[in-house]
Structure 1
């Protein structure tokens, strides 16, 4: 999940500068959206321990949508980064892209996975799947048991993102050989409509098959619809579509950007519609519309919010105190929050026994401390290593150009 500097800085897309480079700007709105996403996800998982005051329950019950917001953000940010070289007539380096993703994702992930594999008390649930499913990011594709009965089940969304990182650069290499607006529209619509059709087929031929007992419907929905990558790419597709529009149609984007607050209102409305389809709860086979249409509605709604976040004049673009640090820590929080909640609950049973604000504060302080430790001990050192590596490569490239210059 992209964060830190790439989250807070993104090329503008309003047109090219004199040296054919797109200027970098900081967008506080993206920090805000990412902070909101991780907070609602944490509230949703905290429900496992019944530690929430009643006033937070409505938010926690729909906190699962934070993952869909992460998907749209990732599609927009990663898509923007991959498209940037094309503005200069270049092709992005697959080797460099995958190396940067590895530096960004693997160190913290492997550190947390090591704890899951070697420290049973760290696990928020009794067992683990086979280690190879975690190392290969195929956990969400080969579910053998009910996922929530096993630890580190939230890794499914990271698996989806890893598959996205793997496929998108290859897809863009083919697509950019002959780019066209109509191709972009057709591609995004095909992905979204194809996702609806695929979920419909699985829902009615697998999940709700007449021979399946009623008590199995929820399990099969999670296994074959909610977690697999091939049924959850709506948000990623919308995010990439926004990145394409903003990168290659700056005049169109500038007209859209004049209505940042309207985009935000429309985005909120679309998210409310999606939640209404779910009866303001979790997607359920008993509500087929929640399976078929909630995910694309969320993708469109969050896509409008992301667009608003980078529009001048939008209230979402204003800086929100505390959002930037939460955005920076979001990946570490995502990896550790369920386990930290579990450990905190076991170590402080008396202090966390009541569903009150004290329990919530203890939980969040513990999660922030653990995430901060992971960030400074693992994440940031490897991000700095990645930056030094990139600087050396750029320096070597400049040196090579100088040596090959026939004027010297």
Structure 2
């Protein structure tokens, strides 16, 4: 997808496509009255625990905006306006679909639904993936401050991450759980955004570091496998889980994803062959995939489980999800074409060039 600066990064659209597939597969795995939770299989736990795809999206946001802004500052109001223009048209479509397809049939009043939408600007209550847009908005509000810290010393951003970890640890001690804040709010997600920013600032040190990338990828896969073995997102004795793993889970995922994004973005020349174009197309409409797949993915999984193949076998589940994912891409592309792209012409430059 092309930014308001006119720049386009093919490799980052590839990353978006991977993140969208991870989230799609995570929800595809929600069958049989809840999370199917097949036995953990290395390295496929990154798909059966595909909620981590949201962490990949957020890490990518930090990296992308750091890359677009460089060592400049921004006009904060223009930046926020651009992000609203980019995100809200499709978000409103998703809200409307939720109302007609879910709220009205349930008998919930429109007044109650509107209250949820208003609270969603502050708390993660927007339905069907909209909660992550709330977290993104909170990051956008913090971005000018983070850029000021970066101007003084990029390492200062690590202090923010350290404070975030400390806060999560304190909340875990006081509340007995921190999963709900670490996953659903900026309390945890800030690590991913900042590691994404730092990965760009130090991306020159990751260029063609293939052994480091392999080690980082294996570390992430092992962590997700162990996370799955320890009970995963849902399958502990209670939800939210009292496990302290959520104190560091956002940090580990953010660091690993940031390293891999910077390595991938700087180490390869993305030729215009079919696979690269196809993957980039998926990445371009990944926002539509993310917001709209909620309306079909659960029914698709139920249909496949009932009529086609048993999804308790993890490799089969991932393969079935991939087929359904590819089938959904044309719908997402039409959504991008008619709902996402037209408002983009109203975006304006927001970078203060030459400012440090």
How many angstroms does 1:196 deviate by? 1.7
Shift of 1:37: 0.9
Residue of structure 1 aligned with 2:166, choices 197, 214, 220? 197
> Any idea what the Cα deviations from partners look like across 1:3-50, whole Å, max 9, x if unmatched?
x1139x99xxxxxxxxxxxxx6x5443222221111011101111125
Q: 1:298 to 1:347 in 2, by over 3 A?
A: closer
- The 8 Å contact of residues 270 and 276 in structure 2, kept in 1 or not, is answered as no
User: Which of 197, 207, 213 in structure 1 is aligned with 2:176?
Assistant: 207
In structure 2, what is the equivalent of residue 335 of structure 1?
A: 291
Deviation track 1:300-340 (CA, whole Å, cap 9, x = no partner) reads 11111011012235899996452101101110011011112
CA contact (8 A) 1:260 1:314 kept: no
Q: Distance in 1 between matches of 2:320 and 2:198?
A: 41
1:195 and 1:233 in contact (8 A); partners too: yes
Q: How many residues are paired up?
A: 331
Q: Does 1:379 align with 2:308?
A: no
Q: Kindly report the root-mean-square deviation, in angstroms, between the aligned alpha carbons of the 2 structures.
A: 4.0
1:282 paired residue number = 232
Could you tell me which runs of 5 or more consecutive residues in structure 2 were left unpaired when the two chains were aligned.
Answer: 351-356
Task: State the TM-score, normalized to the length of structure 1.
Answer: 0.68
State the partner residue of 2:192: 235
1:295 paired residue among 250, 256, 278: 250
Task: Tell me the distance in 2 between the aligned counterparts of 1:122 and 1:372.
Answer: 27
The change in CA–CA distance for 1:126 and 1:48 in structure 2 (over 3 A counts) is: farther
| Distance change in 2, residues 1:273/1:206 (3 Å) | same
Paired residue for 2:114? 131
The aligned counterpart of 1:70 is: 57
- Bigger radius of gyration, 1 or 2? 1
Using the TM superposition, give the Cα deviation of residue 234 of structure 1 relative to its aligned residue in structure 2, in angstroms: 0.7
1:155 aligns with 2:124: no
SS of match in other structure, 2:266:
coil
Q: CA 1:275–1:162 in 2, change beyond 3 Å: closer, same or farther?
A: same
Q: Structure 1 stretches of 5 or more lacking a match?
A: 11-23, 144-150, 209-220, 247-252, 394-408
Matched, 1:103 2:85: yes
After superposing the two structures, state which structure 1 stretch, 197-206 or 332-341, moved more. Answer: 197-206
CA distance in 2, matches of 1:170, 1:118: 40
